[in-house]
Structure 1
């Protein structure tokens, strides 16, 4: 199924963590756990100051969101908190969602400071995208609503997956499958939107309503 083991002995979990619980054993991993997601928010909030092109901002934010989703799902969750969720398709073509967590003493080696940063990053950024979604929805700002919907889907998918991992669930199909389907639907909408924008005359960017 998955070629990469969840418990990787090459990851520097060790005695130095218990001796220095406030020190980050994986500072670069921790940095990139926050970098892409915070960068997407900053560009969404302040991008209009630097460019009036909606397409440029749209593509840049989508790239950052994609890099964030992949990094959090495949790297930072496994290293920072010993959790991982993933998907595989069996020989019958059935899709399975798997939620894993390190067990026993290995799980206790997780650095508490890194763990708090990991969960704070997941919850806080998701909450901000929820706020932006509400603003765009009630202001009927469809261009930005599409972008925020994609951001919210990706962030909720990672958050839900790791909550399932922490809760000890091994297999599930419910919300994760729904999130995946919704994501692919949004990708199709992105293509349609980009095509229509490319075929229409260039117009000034619409700044997200309610954001100063």
Structure 2
């Protein structure tokens, strides 16, 4: 039976052909898949915990930086960072590209959000597996770090996408292309959201309290 144009555009090759930024899309999935793959292989095949941890953490850091600074800005026109005022007050700044200037490619947008929301669930599943099969003292910290990185990006980009733009008198535009908005309470909201996941990860009340303190003290430093 003869193939149709729809069949030709299906599959992974079709996705990259339709993407406006195939390299950015490729790197987004490359780092994310590599981190999970290396983590699984190291847990099964390599007994050197230090070497395994270093490799996975480096891949997680590369993925975190790439997703926040490259993929989000290029694929969906969203970005965010932590800013410190002259008085020392720290708050979050979110930007979204004006869709009238350059709307996001539908394929890029779809694949970006799939990556942002799917991989935290995969890491959560690996956390459960690590409790059941591997040595929790060795592998749980790596998975928790991966969850913090992935969930932080998921919350950040979701917040930048769904939250309304600030009123016109407090909203500035850069070359008419980007909408700026800040939320000085977002840091606390993120800390609470991330810490509450301690219950879902089986850490219980004490684990949630510990994770709350860690996130509150570290999340702001990550984005500086």
Could you state the TM-score of these two structures normalised by the residue count of structure 1?
0.70
CA distance in 2, matches of 1:160, 1:106: 25
Q: Which residue of 2 aligns with 1:70?
A: 65
Q: Which residue of 1 aligns with 2:215?
A: 182
CA distance in 1, matches of 2:36, 2:77: 26
Matches within 5 A, 1:57-206: 57-106=52-101, 109-137=103-131, 141-168=136-163, 170=181, 171=183, 172-177=186-191, 181-182=214-215
Gaps in structure 1 of 5+ consecutive residues: 1-20, 187-212
CA distance in 2, matches of 1:183, 1:53: 32
State whether residues 87 and 95 of structure 1, in contact with CA within 8 Å, keep that contact through their aligned partners in structure 2.
yes
CA distance in 2, matches of 1:115, 1:90: 33
Residue 106 to residue 160, structure 1, CA distance change in 2 (3 Å): same
32, 44, 47: which one aligns with 1:37: 32
Residue 69 to residue 35, structure 1, CA distance change in 2 (3 Å): same
Gaps in structure 2 of 5+ consecutive residues: 1-15, 165-180, 195-212, 220-224
State whether residues 153 and 183 of structure 1, in contact with CA within 8 Å, keep that contact through their aligned partners in structure 2.
no
What do you get for the CA RMSD once the two structures are aligned? Answer: 2.5
Residue 28 to residue 183, structure 1, CA distance change in 2 (3 Å): farther
1:174-209 Cα distance to aligned partner (Å, 9 max, x none): 2335659428669xxxxxxxxxxxxxxxxxxxxxxx
1:84-131 Cα distance to aligned partner (Å, 9 max, x none): 111110011111111221224135x21000111101111111100111
Q: Which residue of 1 aligns with 2:42?
A: 47
What is the CA-CA distance between 1:134 and the residue it aligns to? 2.5
Aligned residue-pair number? 165
Question: Larger relative contact order (C-alpha < 8 A, sep ≥ 6)?
Answer: 1
State whether residues 188 and 216 of structure 2, in contact with CA within 8 Å, keep that contact through their aligned partners in structure 1.
no
What is the CA-CA distance between 1:22 and the residue it aligns to? 6.4
CA distance in 2, matches of 1:168, 1:102: 14
State whether residues 101 and 168 of structure 1, in contact with CA within 8 Å, keep that contact through their aligned partners in structure 2.
no
State whether residues 29 and 115 of structure 2, in contact with CA within 8 Å, keep that contact through their aligned partners in structure 1.
yes
Could you state the TM-score of these two structures normalised by the residue count of structure 2?
0.66
